[in-house]
Amino acid sequence: MTEVENTDIEMSSMMIIAHSGEARTLAYEALKAAKKGNFDQASELMKKSEAEGNEAHKTQTDLLVAEAKGEKTPFSLLLVHSQDHLMTSMVVQELCKELIELYSVKQDKEILK
């Protein structure tokens, strides 16, 4: 059984953290835009957020595939931390999408008054 190099794990972990963090930041920016009624901007920011999240997820998937092929991944607190970032950003994206939808419905109702 081969072992994934520690430097590879560290690099992958940092990539997951960086892309997840950007995904989370963009999702919050999208929410702020929606709160101001800028739904086109919110939509664009969410697309960017999803692209960043996909990059983080791809890196995670690469690690999972390597492990499934028998490449042992050594325990790394940094890797665990990166997984926390990824999961948090995914939850933030989901919640921001729902809140943006609520702001949109609220605006539509206000327009109809």
In residues, how long is the chain? 113
Give me the catalytic one of 19, 57, 81, 85. 81
Axis-axis angle for helices 77-112, 39-68 (nearest 10): 150
Task: Identify whether the C-beta of residue 63 lies closer than 8 Å to the C-beta of residue 70.
Answer: no
57 a catalytic residue: no
Give the integer Cα–Cα distance in Å for 23 and 6: 25
Instruction: Note the pLDDT tens digit of each residue in 37-76.
Output: 999 999 999 999 999 999 999 999 999 999 999 998 888 9
Q: Is the pLDDT of residue 113 over 70?
A: no
pLDDT at residue 37, rounded to an integer: 96
Q: What is the pTM of this model?
A: 0.90
